[in-house]
Amino acid sequence: MRQPLFVLLTLTTATLIIGCDRKSEPPPQTQPAGELAPEAFVEALPETITLRALNEAPAEPPHYDLEAFKLCPLRYEFVADTSIVAPEEFSPMGRAVDLKSSQQGSFSARVEGERWALHAGTIDRFEYVDEDRVRHPGLAADALAPILLKAEGQRLVEDDGPTALWSAMGEFPGLTIFFPALPAQAAPGSSTTWSPLLHQRGSSSEVEARRGKATPPPGYTHPKPQGTTHQAEVTLERWLDLGESRAALLRAEWSTGPYKEYMRSRQGATPEPVHVTITNTDDYAATYVVSEAGRVLFARVQSTREQHITSTGAMPEQRFFITLTAQMNLVQGCDDPVLASTAESSDLEIDEATRAVNRFIAAVKRNDLAALHDLLSPTLREEPGSRVILETLRAHLQKHGPDALGHPELPTDLMGFDQGHRVELAGASTHLAEEDENVLVTVYYTEPIEGETRITGLGADTSARDMLWEVLEITEKRFFYEGNP
């Protein structure tokens, strides 16, 4: 068991008072803010808030109250930095490995029916090569199945899962590590057992496909979910005064392992399937700030994993040391203080633009006229009309292949444009034979109209284009498709 990452501070005994009026409480403690909460939380607070410790705990602990959440849709941003190290003798590359990557994204949280639904925004992925940051394919907004959560006592439980973003993302397990079980008592020192279930990457395959967020190849058999239940102790360390509201500082530490995961390769490159055993030992340390109303304002989780991989085939033994530092900030809400954005996360307008483009492409591929109609601007609905646009784009896909409309998970360019955004995607064409011109570039224009982000136009051409869109243009000024007579 590693040493704790944070130094626990002794709470000063509060003076008992009669009555529940907050104005009658003794003045809050005046410890430096940096000693009361993580530095990242203090730095993200609005300048108008002076952080103090409460002398007396509230009568009730924070709890996840879905009725209260109905009144207040939330938006969070997160960043998850990962480091993977392997010594030369246990590296699959035959040399020492030191890989650093980062996932940065956002999600909205609102009550839908009897469940709390978390909808992913854009999630960007970066890799660091020789200190240079390289952008890799990420995920467009709404590309993953929404997380559906129920409140059971002092904890959140996923319904209809596992989904990828909740517990099956990989080295960064998912959002589940940001939402701990909450102690049932309000007094400092109170604790509870938390049992997060973290899944192996790929465990969400069946759920994501069933809910329309993945298209497996014909004959594909979804793997059975593999997960490990961790056992953590969550302790309420102190209460914080945030001016107009109060929040609990929670800490958790736990170790799990060694535990094993199993994989089986498909036949193909090797004569026989290879059975792989992955042995993990995990250590976690986490800090949370949860408002009195039960909203997680801040979460910071650090973990280390020792991973040992063996197989039945000729694949050599491998060993990895994986570290994770993940943080989540509440950046939009109602009653509680909201924090500054996490570094370089996508903003809400970009999320909505990429979400609209992603839904638009999906509607075309599904031949879904109603969904496409809802996404178009009123002008395009009238002329050339939703049905004509759908038929044109279906013909475009039939001629150039399923990737002709671009890959929304990796925009080649994204910028503000007039009243909305310009989203540029690259896609491959099976029709264009010349190697230097087989890339189709498609640009989508989006704009908020009547409270919804809608498609106001798109144009497509080869990467060698000079002036006007020469393959396809559907805008308010011009309707053109090269396949039309």
Please write the tens of the pLDDT for every residue from 4-23.
333 222 323 333 232 334 44
The CA-CA-CA angle for residues 124, 338, 193, to 5°, reads 80
- Mean pLDDT (whole number) for 238-255: 94
Whole-number pLDDT of residue 466: 56
Query: Per-residue pLDDT tens for 462-482?
Result: 865 556 788 999 999 999 998
Every domain range in the chain assigned CATH 2.30.230: 34-332
Cα 375 to Cα 119, 216, 322, 371: the distances in Å are: 18, 26, 42, 6
- How many whole angstroms separate alpha carbon 377 and alpha carbon 190? 54
Pick the CATH number of 352-479 from 3.10.450.50, 3.40.190.100, 3.40.50.800, 3.40.50.1110: 3.10.450.50
- How many whole angstroms separate alpha carbon 40 and alpha carbon 6? 13
Cα 362 to Cα 351, 356, 381, 401: the distances in Å are: 16, 10, 18, 14
Mean pLDDT score of the chain: 85
Which token pair is 109? 């949280």
Whole-number pLDDT of residue 163: 97
Whether the pLDDT of residue 394 is over 80: the answer is: yes
pLDDT-derived band at 350, boundaries 50, 70, 90? confident
- How many whole angstroms separate alpha carbon 188 and alpha carbon 209? 44
For the chain, the residue count is 485
- How many whole angstroms separate alpha carbon 268 and alpha carbon 394? 34
- How many whole angstroms separate alpha carbon 82 and alpha carbon 322? 7
Whole-number pLDDT of residue 11: 29
Cα 474 to Cα 268, 323, 444: the distances in Å are: 44, 47, 10
Every domain range in the chain assigned CATH 3.10.450.50: 352-479
- How many whole angstroms separate alpha carbon 175 and alpha carbon 482? 45
* Residue-by-residue DSSP string for 430-445: SS--SGGG-EEEEEEE
pLDDT-derived band at 189, boundaries 50, 70, 90? very high
Q: Which of 336, 356, 302, 315 is nearest to 82 (CA)?
A: 302
Total-model pTM: 0.74
- Mean pLDDT (whole number) for 273-296: 90
Query: Per-residue pLDDT tens for 399-444?
Result: 998 889 987 766 777 788 878 999 888 888 888 766 556 788 899 9
- CATH fold of 34-332: Lipovitellin-phosvitin complex; beta-sheet shell regions (2.30.230)
- Mean pLDDT (whole number) for 214-243: 91
Whether the pLDDT of residue 277 is over 70: the answer is: yes
- How many whole angstroms separate alpha carbon 64 and alpha carbon 294? 5
* Residue-by-residue DSSP string for 307-346: EEEEESSSPPPEEEEEEEEEEEEEEE-SSS--PPPPTTPP
Whether the pLDDT of residue 162 is over 50: the answer is: yes
